[in-house]
Amino acid sequence: MKIQLKRIAILVFCLAMPCAGQVGAERTKYAQAAAKGAKTLQAWYVPSTGVYAPPAGWWNAANAITVLANLEKVSGERSYDSVFSQTFTAAQTTSANFVNKYYDDDGWWALAWMDAYDVTGERRYLSMADRVFVTMTGGWDTATCGGGIWWSTDRHYKNAIANELFLSVAARLANRSKGRKRAEYRKWAELEWKWFKASGMINNENLVNDGLNSTNPNACINNGRRTWSYNQGVILDGLVELGKANKDATLGSQADAIAQAAIAHLATENGVLTEPVAGKDAPQFKGIFMRNLMTLYKASKKAQREVYRRFAQVNAESILNSDEGPGGAFGGNWQGPFDSGDASRQASALDALVAAAAMQ
């Protein structure tokens, strides 16, 4: 009788909170699904160029490298080190040192190489991230909007994503450096966050709009454009990393506020993250949010972690049950139905699966 009551008590507890065995099974399930999906992703990989077949573009390839690195962290296997090395060499025939006219593209590659460094320990990847960041600092300008970096070298638009990436790259480099270098990176990260916070891009709902209207360069205002999921994501990583660098716990609270707003406003009533996926860029966005929510999860308090874990689990389950197409490809609509497969859609869904595994 006592044994039976004990079993019932354990069952009730597991229904309310995940138990060790349940959590381990879920982690394995999502990690295995991600590993399988990564093989499908690599069917679009072009070794001679180091990137992925269209419609995936240059910046999408950087995100694919990142999700492969994160998969290695979760799985403990080093299945894609050769892909990192191949891309590091081959992709530079397209853009030397992984830079082009778009500062946000530069930022994605800097993050990708730091992720590759984290799993391989190869200093060349960290050195490349530093080189890319130096290029990004050339986009900083105080004459328009009082600071921030431009979206591109054309200097026509100051937007959220380029500046969030600048914050994230600077803070990450600070946490992977020592001495004078660390202090320099941290100074840039602090300068960026001070400007970003005052820029007006974070609206009254704690969501980040796309960018600024700089018609009056001395009084730039939030342009009210769509609150894309990736704009709610990258800022989370930047704040967590800056919080580590300067030991400022308040930055975690700001990150939680943005994450909670995104979950409340950008998901279906069933809790599945959704937004338009037309074009070659938008399909990548949702996975970027989930990846950075994974970063915030690790830095948050227990109650908040459970909210994020459940959200990740709901999205992973929806992808596996409603959004898988032929050959193990995942589409852009995680709530289903499957629309089409390509490297951007696949990498985005893999981000969500890896995040779900990591949060278990």
26 inside domain: no
pLDDT (tens digit, 9 = 90+) per residue, 204-245?
999 999 999 999 999 999 999 999 999 999 999 999 999 999
Contact 126, 117 (CB under 8 A): yes
Average pLDDT over the chain reads 94
8 inside domain: no
Give me the pLDDT at residue 112, please. Answer: 98
- Domain count for the chain, please give it: 1
Across the chain, where does the E strand assignment appear? Answer: 45-46, 51-52, 212-213, 221-222
Contact 222, 201 (CB under 8 A): yes
131 inside domain: yes
Q: Please, which residues bridge with residue 159 across strands?
A: 211
Residue 7, pLDDT > 60, answer no
Give me the pLDDT at residue 105, please. Answer: 98
Give me the pLDDT at residue 23, please. Answer: 63
Residue 288, pLDDT > 60, answer yes
Residue 174, pLDDT > 60, answer yes
66 inside domain: yes
Banded model confidence at residue 20, pLDDT cuts 50, 70, 90 = low
Residue 336, pLDDT > 50, answer yes
Domain that holds residue 143: 33-358
pLDDT (tens digit, 9 = 90+) per residue, 35-47?
999 999 999 999 9
Give me the pLDDT at residue 150, please. Answer: 98
325 inside domain: yes
Residue 5, pLDDT > 60, answer no
pLDDT (tens digit, 9 = 90+) per residue, 45-98?
999 999 999 999 999 999 999 999 999 999 999 999 999 999 999 999 999 999
How large a percentage of the chain has pLDDT more than 70?
A: 94
Region 192-208 average pLDDT: 98
Region 293-311 average pLDDT: 97
Contact 70, 288 (CB under 8 A): no
Banded model confidence at residue 22, pLDDT cuts 50, 70, 90 = low
How far, in whole angstroms, is CA 230 from its chain's centroid?
A: 7
Residue type for 152, please?
S
Residue 269 dihedral angles phi and psi, to the nearest 5°: -65, -20
Residue 24, pLDDT > 90, answer no
Q: Which residues make Cβ contacts (< 8 Å) with residue 341, sequence separation at least 6? A: 40, 325, 326, 327, 329, 330, 331
Residue 2, pLDDT > 90, answer no
Residue 287, pLDDT > 80, answer yes
Which DSSP string do the residues of 84-122 spell out, in sequence order? Answer: HHHHHHHGGGTSGGG--SBHHHHHHHHHHHHHHHHHH--
Number of C-beta neighbours around residue 243 at 10 A: 19
Residue 106, pLDDT > 70, answer yes
Residue 306, pLDDT > 90, answer yes
Q: Between 2 and 112, name the one with better pLDDT.
A: 112
Check which CATH number belongs to the domain holding 48 and give it.
Answer: 1.50.10.20
3 inside domain: no
25 inside domain: no
9 inside domain: no
How many contiguous H segments (helices) and E segments (strands) does the chain have? 13, 4
